[in-house]
Structure 1
Amino acid sequence: MAHAISTRRSWLAGLFGLALAFGSFPATGPADAADAPVVVFAAASLKNALDEATAAWGKETGKTVKISYAGSNALAKQLESGAPADLFFSADLAWMDYAQKAGSIRPDTRVDLLRNAIVLIAPKDSTAALDLKPGVDLAKELGDGRLAMGNVDAVPAGKYGKAALTNLGAWEAVKDKVAQAENVRAALLLVARGEAPLGIVYASDAVSDASVKVVATFPADSHPPIVYPIARTKDSANEDAARLLVWLRSPAAKPFFEKQGFSVVGSEKKS
């Protein structure tokens, strides 16, 4: 019994720490009251766009939305452990697949909503200049500095970044210079503070912070397509979550995402 209590306390402590870092969880389980907030677990890279979009929806409907931001990997595992949420908005397909296999979401509500790109960033006063093509010498540009990225084994932006660097033939030379962060916004912060001379983040992250600049954009064919799926969770009892999901897919939400550098699936310009 004591061991079980200790384990539960450890789990709750970890969950509370995540809430403090990226948002707030409700005091009870999944929303089941008519006026309860819609609880969203969302990838850290969505913060600016989703904050503005849900604020607009709230103003329109009078409803409240509570969002907890973190790496998609951390959120998927929290859902698997029973953390309460109504919607899961992932930064890649793999972690939504994970949540679906774990029985954490309702597959019939799942939809691919957004696309993004990954870029190489530097502090705004940097003179760094690189052409991201095969054979690029990124290690030389870094010198003794570090390359800020999301965790390359778990965080979607980190996985995309490693794939791109591998395809460009640059990974082996820089892998020991990588500063791996728990999510893409943490990687962005390392560059914004000047603690890393270069970083790999989403184009939407670069838009969100005026203290960094884009050095170059990774070729789209150097990494898997960057797709953001969203779904309602299996245990959600809040019907406002279904309404919010419909609204996020509507033309009304599109400007909030495009303003932050995302493109909406199905509405991309044809070349």
Structure 2
Amino acid sequence: MAEPIRRRSPLLPALILFLITWMAMAPASAAERTYLYAASSLTGAMTALAAELETTSGHQLIAVFGASSTLARQILQGAPAHIFISAHPLWMDKIADKDLLEPGSRRLIANNRLVVAASRADAAALDLANTKALLQRLGNGRLAMADPNHVPAGIYGKQALQTLGLWGMLQDRLAIASNVRIALSYIERGETPLGIVYASDLVGRPQVTAVALFPDQSHAPISYPMAVLRGRSNAATKAFQQLLQSDKGRAILTRFGFQPL
């Protein structure tokens, strides 16, 4: 008895081709992910910029936020960052010292201001020259601020307090946070009556308000350097750089309380 002829489905070659194509593309898709490492104070602005980039160009950025010092250390240890935006040149310099920046990609993108913030329920203006009023405002509480040993907002805050002659009386009354957004959360939750944060941190945070503005000359300029990591330049990083320099990108930075450069 003759063995029946087995007819191959006409769909089989197409299925095999699809599987081969899918397997070839899957690793490439993972490799093409573009990571943006940015200071925590940039969370709102960079989230909006990443959304704008995807809408206008189709490029996706995976944003990672944290203290600039923490992110820089991760990059130095091999984290897969394509773009790094720091809240202080110190941490960008440390990466540059290891020759890890794409030549010509470093630039300043924005400035910020430093403020003393309080709950909106206690929004009376505070005169930083009046130490008695400052201590009364603190009461038995503490002053929230990011870690002055390595976090940019804390470094700037310590500089400002030292310039105004306030550091000695306040250094033992601090509530130290690992980044500026956590310092802000202490104020929002009523855990501290006052805190030192960036002006941009208060955008979209109705529970808190600025009660004092530190003079610009009381601390180093608060500027945000951005750079592409060496060998990580791609279509997405180039499109993001173009967006930052565009009117739309500058408008987004302004909307989130920054001064675009």
TM-score by shorter chain over 0.5: yes
Q: 1:195 to 1:260 in 2, by over 3 A?
A: same
State the alpha-carbon separation in 2 of the partners of residues 77 and 187 from structure 1. Answer: 21
- The answer on whether the counterparts of 1:119 and 1:217 sit within 8 Å (CA) in structure 2 is yes
User: 2:77: which partner in 1?
Assistant: 81
1:206 matches 2:220: no
Count of residue pairs the alignment pairs up = 235
Q: 1:150 to 1:43 in 2, by over 3 A?
A: same
- What are the equivalent positions in structure 2 for 1:75-224 lying under 5 Å apart? 75-133=71-129, 138-224=134-220
State the alpha-carbon separation in 1 of the partners of residues 187 and 57 from structure 2. Answer: 38
Q: 1:130 to 1:100 in 2, by over 3 A?
A: same
State the alpha-carbon separation in 1 of the partners of residues 147 and 258 from structure 2. Answer: 22
1:108-157 Cα offsets, whole Å, 9 max, x none, are 10001100001100111015531133867533421210111010011100
1:236 matches 2:235: no
- The answer on whether the counterparts of 1:120 and 1:201 sit within 8 Å (CA) in structure 2 is yes
1:164-208 Cα offsets, whole Å, 9 max, x none, are 011011110010011111110010111011111100000000113
TM-score, with normalisation over the residues of structure 1? 0.82
- Tell me how far 1:57 sits from its aligned partner: 1.2
State the alpha-carbon separation in 1 of the partners of residues 129 and 93 from structure 2. Answer: 31
For structure 1, list consecutive stretches of 5 or more residues without a partner in the other structure. 1-30, 266-271
Q: 1:247 to 1:126 in 2, by over 3 A?
A: same
Over the residues paired in the alignment, what is the CA RMSD in angstroms?
A: 1.9
Letter in 2 for 1:175: Q
State the alpha-carbon separation in 1 of the partners of residues 113 and 137 from structure 2. Answer: 22
Letter in 1 for 2:142: R
Correspondence for 1:47 among 28, 43, 58: 43
Q: 1:137 to 1:95 in 2, by over 3 A?
A: farther
TM-score, with normalisation over the residues of structure 2? 0.85
Give identity over the alignment, percent. 38
> In structure 2, the residue corresponding to 1:194 is in which secondary structure?
coil
> In structure 1, the residue corresponding to 2:203 is in which secondary structure?
helix
- Tell me how far 1:102 sits from its aligned partner: 2.3
User: 2:222: which partner in 1?
Assistant: 226
User: 2:248: which partner in 1?
Assistant: 252
- The answer on whether the counterparts of 1:139 and 1:173 sit within 8 Å (CA) in structure 2 is no
- The answer on whether the counterparts of 1:128 and 1:141 sit within 8 Å (CA) in structure 2 is no
Q: 1:98 to 1:136 in 2, by over 3 A?
A: farther
Q: Which runs of 4+ in 1 moved over 4 A?
A: 31-35, 134-137
State the alpha-carbon separation in 1 of the partners of residues 242 and 230 from structure 2. Answer: 17
Q: 1:168 to 1:84 in 2, by over 3 A?
A: same
For structure 2, list consecutive stretches of 5 or more residues without a partner in the other structure. 1-26
State the alpha-carbon separation in 1 of the partners of residues 101 and 87 from structure 2. Answer: 15
Q: 1:35 to 1:244 in 2, by over 3 A?
A: farther
Larger Rg: 2
Letter in 2 for 1:81: Q
